[in-house]
């Protein structure tokens, strides 16, 4: 499941029309969904279970890139059994949504250069 948030060809299978992803701290997260340009950065990445991504819409004054964060915690699978629940937490400077008893906050204020691509975060497996 982790690759559905870190590989462009996987994320566009379930959402989006175009993606540029560099899944490393400060790497870019670019996803166009039905003409809406979602932009952000990977803030934290802990394969294969957790990602923290800043989020916003390019050109938006109400939700610009970096105005919110999305935390994705994926379940640990053993065979066909899920040993923990999935939590997706959203927050922004204006409001916070609580999910599975956890919240995330913050974001970044200015874009930074993307990390050098080429490293393979999916090599680590359980």
Pick the CATH number of 2-101 from 3.40.1400.10, 3.40.50.2300, 3.30.1330.90, 3.30.530.20: 3.30.530.20
pTM (two decimals): 0.63
Using CB atoms within 10 A of its CB, is residue 64 exposed (0-12), middle (13-18) or buried (19+)? middle
Residues 65-111: tens digit of each pLDDT: 999 999 999 887 666 655 554 445 555 554 333 333 333 333 322 33
pLDDT for residue 75? 82
Taking the C-alpha atoms of residue 114 and residue 71, their distance in angstroms, rounded to an integer, is 19
pLDDT band at 124 (very low <50, low <70, confident <90, very high): very low
Taking the C-alpha atoms of residue 102 and residue 87, their distance in angstroms, rounded to an integer, is 8
Q: What is the mean pLDDT of residues 41-54?
A: 94
Taking the C-alpha atoms of residue 38 and residue 78, their distance in angstroms, rounded to an integer, is 33
Task: Give the start-to-end residue ranges of the domains of the chain.
Answer: 2-101
Tokens of 58: 């390019």
Residues 4-33: tens digit of each pLDDT: 999 999 999 999 999 999 999 999 999 999
């Amino acid at each position: 499941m982790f690759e559905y948030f870190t590989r462009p060809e996987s994320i566009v299978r379930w959402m989006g029309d175009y993606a540029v992803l560099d899944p490393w701290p400060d790497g870019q997260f670019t996803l166009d969904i039905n003409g809406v340009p979602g932009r952000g950065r990977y803030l934290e990445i802990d394969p294969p279970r957790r990602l923290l991504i800043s989020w916003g819409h390019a050109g938006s004054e109400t939700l610009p890139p970096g105005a919110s964060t999305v935390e994705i915690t994926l379940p640990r699978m053993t065979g066909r059994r899920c040993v923990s629940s999935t939590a997706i937490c959203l927050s922004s400077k204006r409001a916070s949504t609580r999910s599975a008893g956890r919240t995330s906050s913050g974001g970044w204020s200015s874009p930074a250069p993307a990390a050098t691509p080429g490293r393979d975060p999916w090599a680590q497996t359980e």
